[in-house]
Amino acid sequence: MTGRNIIVSNRVPSDGPPSGGLVVALHDCLTERGGIWYGTSGDIVDTAGTSFRPIAGDGYEIRMFDLTQTEYEGYYLGYANSVLWPLCHRRADLMALQAGDFETYLGLNQRLARMMAAELRPDDQVWIHDYHFLPLAACLRAEGVTATLGYFHHIPFPAVHDLLALPEHDLFPDWISSFDLFGLQTQRDVAAALEMFRSTTGAEQLRDGSLQYHGRQFEVRSFPIGIDAASFAAEAALRDGRSLLNLAPDERLVIGVDRLDYSKGLDNRMRAFGGYLAARSEGDPRASLLQIAPPTREEVTAYQNIRNDLERISGEVNGLYSDLDWTPIRYIHRGIPRDTLASLYRAADVGLVTPFCDGMNLVAKEFVAAQDPHDPGVLILSQFAGAVEQMEAALIVNPYDIGEMAAALKTALAMSLEERRARHAKLIKGVMHDDIAHWTATYLDTMTRLAAGTQSKTADHLADKLLGQD
Ligand code: ADQ
């Protein structure tokens, strides 16, 4: 018999029925099993509260809390999105270290821990999401909470030498070891986390693969996130995406879909598309790039120039190559309904997913799920997206190498039907099998095993190697 399932994420799903893979998956899991979802409401208040505002979820409870303006600026915009996000995306140079932000971030986690501690029971299984709450387990333990605490890091784990740029880097081992299960997207991330423990602490690796540090035993494992592949595939087939775009019959389509974030490599992608057009020879097809990039975190300074940069690059490429009846780059700066997005992926000949650094990248999986298996498009995927560990049948590129990406575009647009089908068949198998339901079930099963106090049966060999105990 297990205790209640509890989710903590930055925002609760408070605006009607949830949309989007992750929120839907967590919602479904709570609806099925019952439980509580804690997170911020999105409202700003004058004074920090001491208890939650409950609202009814669908078969579970939602308990929201409001941020003060100081917390919103210091915890959310500041330490989470202007320090930890760039740090974890290999952009320590973009960290905006502002006096007081760390204290506000920690203070918010301590306040949340106090409020949660009054409600948690020892047999609860708490699943905490993302870098907003890295210290939450340590704060909960300080409040005497003994429940099973799991965490999932949706973004990459920083390399040790990047981590050293964070003034508070020495707190990471205690924060992480206060969880029972520290989940990461990829083996690469697990390796980075273990390397941190190996090189900066006296953590011990036990026979079962778990780690022991400062008297606590915990596990660091990868759980590659997936999408709701079957429903996405069904949605994609409902409409003809090409007709939405008014494409000429012989016009080929390349698609990119990303939040407007510096980690997504949009500038180099547009340059690479320009490179493809520049090197195009007589027989090469005429292709358009549809780049959908809704704004995000516009209050964070590091995001303010991206939009201008992309408008300049797309303007340059269009200025050079447009014709009376053709605009090579269509750049859409807003969100698109999911069903439309699915049919646009399906209409595309190439999916261009070229982040400089990405935890997983769900767009790569959505693109594959949306394809017509009889006539599939080609996925071009950055070697720095977490998805690459599961999607080796894509055309893998280095997003810093614009020439290589331009050449990959040419290869993809000229690829035979036979090769496209063969690559897609390999990709879709993984996307369908390792879907979001599989991810949720695997993570929660691991939590349940840990809650039951059983030992891991599958020692992590990579971990053994890295900690020199192989
Ligand atoms: P993100 O950085 O947001 O997620 P990603 O995994 O690509 O990146 O997910 C983006 C989602 O937003 C996709 O489902 C996509 O369809 C949707 N989206 C993007 N642009 C859109 C638009 N214009 N209109 C509608 N929908 C749009 C973080 C990490 C990732 C990790 C996920 C999940 O940075 O590495 O894969 O969490 O763990």
Q: Cβ(292) to ligand 1 under 6 A? A: yes
Which candidate, 44, 15, 38, places its Cα nearest to that of 26? 38
Cα separations in angstroms, 40 against 66, 71, 102, 406, 409 = 6, 11, 18, 43, 42
Q: Which atom of ligand 1 is nearest to the CA of 336?
A: 24
pTM score, whole prediction: 0.95
Q: Cβ(225) to ligand 1 under 6 A? A: yes
Low-confidence winner among 14-18, 63-67, 253-257 (lowest mean pLDDT): 14-18
Q: Which atom of ligand 1 is nearest to the CA of 152?
A: 38
* pLDDT, tens digit (0-9, with 9 covering 90-100), for 341-355: 999 999 999 999 999
Evaluate if residue 168 carries a pLDDT over 80.
yes
The predicted pLDDT at position 85 comes to 98
* pLDDT, tens digit (0-9, with 9 covering 90-100), for 248-288: 889 999 999 999 999 999 999 999 999 999 999 888 889 99
The predicted pLDDT at position 122 comes to 95
The residue annotated as part of the active site, out of 154, 162, 189, 435, is 154
Evaluate if residue 415 carries a pLDDT over 50.
yes
DSSP 58-94: SSSEEEEEEEEHHHIIIIIIIIIIIIIHHHHTT-GGG
Which candidate, 121, 1, 136, places its Cα nearest to that of 65? 136
Evaluate if residue 460 carries a pLDDT over 50.
no
* Distance from the Cα of residue 31 to its chain's centroid: 23
Higher pLDDT, 33 or 457: 33
Every domain of the chain and the residues it spans: 5-226+436-466, 229-433
Ligand 1, atom 37: closest residue by C-alpha: 154
Which candidate, 324, 349, 321, places its Cα nearest to that of 424? 349
Q: Which atom of ligand 1 is nearest to the CA of 21?
A: 14
- The Å distance, Cα 260 to ligand 1 centre, comes to 10
Q: What is the CATH number of domain 229-433?
A: 3.40.50.2000
Q: Cβ(357) to ligand 1 under 6 A? A: no
Q: Which atom of ligand 1 is nearest to the CA of 362?
A: 6
Residue 317, Cβ density class (10 Å: 0-12 exposed, 13-18 middle, ≥19 buried): buried
Ligand 1, atom 4: closest residue by C-alpha: 361
The predicted pLDDT at position 15 comes to 67
- The Å distance, Cα 224 to ligand 1 centre, comes to 14
Does 28 qualify as catalytic in the annotation?
no
214 Cβ partners below 8 Å, 6+ apart?
Answer: 173, 174, 177
Give the mean pLDDT of 196-210.
Answer: 88
Question: pLDDT over 90 for what percent of the chain?
Answer: 81
Evaluate if residue 369 carries a pLDDT over 70.
yes
Q: Cβ(257) to ligand 1 under 6 A? A: yes
Give the mean pLDDT of 419-428.
Answer: 98
- The Å distance, Cα 21 to ligand 1 centre, comes to 9
Q: Cβ(332) to ligand 1 under 6 A? A: no
Q: Cβ(336) to ligand 1 under 6 A? A: yes
Evaluate if residue 467 carries a pLDDT over 80.
no
Does 358 qualify as catalytic in the annotation?
yes
Which candidate, 50, 56, 49, places its Cα nearest to that of 12? 56
Evaluate if residue 456 carries a pLDDT over 80.
no
Q: Cβ(264) to ligand 1 under 6 A? A: no
CB 258 within 8 A of CB 363: yes
Give the mean pLDDT of 127-154.
Answer: 98
Which candidate, 51, 81, 56, places its Cα nearest to that of 66? 51
211's enclosing H/E stretch is strand 211-213
Of 23, 90, 152, 257, best ligand 1 pocket probe by most atoms within 8 Å of the beta carbon? 257
Q: Cβ(167) to ligand 1 under 6 A? A: no
373 Cβ partners below 8 Å, 6+ apart?
Answer: 421, 424, 425, 428
Ligand 1, atom 9: closest residue by C-alpha: 362
- The Å distance, Cα 139 to ligand 1 centre, comes to 29
Which candidate, 321, 327, 333, 325, places its Cα nearest to that of 291? 333
Cα separations in angstroms, 75 against 44, 46, 79 = 13, 16, 5
Q: Which atom of ligand 1 is nearest to the CA of 225?
A: 38
Residue 250, Cβ density class (10 Å: 0-12 exposed, 13-18 middle, ≥19 buried): exposed
Give the mean pLDDT of 188-203.
Answer: 92
* pLDDT, tens digit (0-9, with 9 covering 90-100), for 91-104: 999 999 999 999 99
What the block records as the tokens of 334 is 């807003």
CB 75 within 8 A of CB 97: no
Of 189, 260, 363, 391, best ligand 1 pocket probe by most atoms within 8 Å of the beta carbon? 363
255's enclosing H/E stretch is strand 252-257
Rounded to whole angstroms, how far apart are CA atoms 392 and 414?
19
- The Å distance, Cα 362 to ligand 1 centre, comes to 6
Give the mean pLDDT of 442-451.
Answer: 95
- The Å distance, Cα 292 to ligand 1 centre, comes to 12
- The Å distance, Cα 361 to ligand 1 centre, comes to 6
Q: Which atom of ligand 1 is nearest to the CA of 364?
A: 7
What the block records as the tokens of 115 is 């409020």
Whether 5-226+436-466 and 229-433 share one fold: the answer is: yes
Would you give the DSSP letter of residue 430?
H
Higher pLDDT, 351 or 467: 351
Q: Which atom of ligand 1 is nearest to the CA of 292?
A: 23
Higher pLDDT, 34 or 46: 46
The residue annotated as part of the active site, out of 358, 434, 435, 460, is 358
Q: What is the CATH number of domain 5-226+436-466?
A: 3.40.50.2000
- The Å distance, Cα 235 to ligand 1 centre, comes to 18
The predicted pLDDT at position 458 comes to 37
Ligand 1, atom 1: closest residue by C-alpha: 361
- The Å distance, Cα 20 to ligand 1 centre, comes to 9
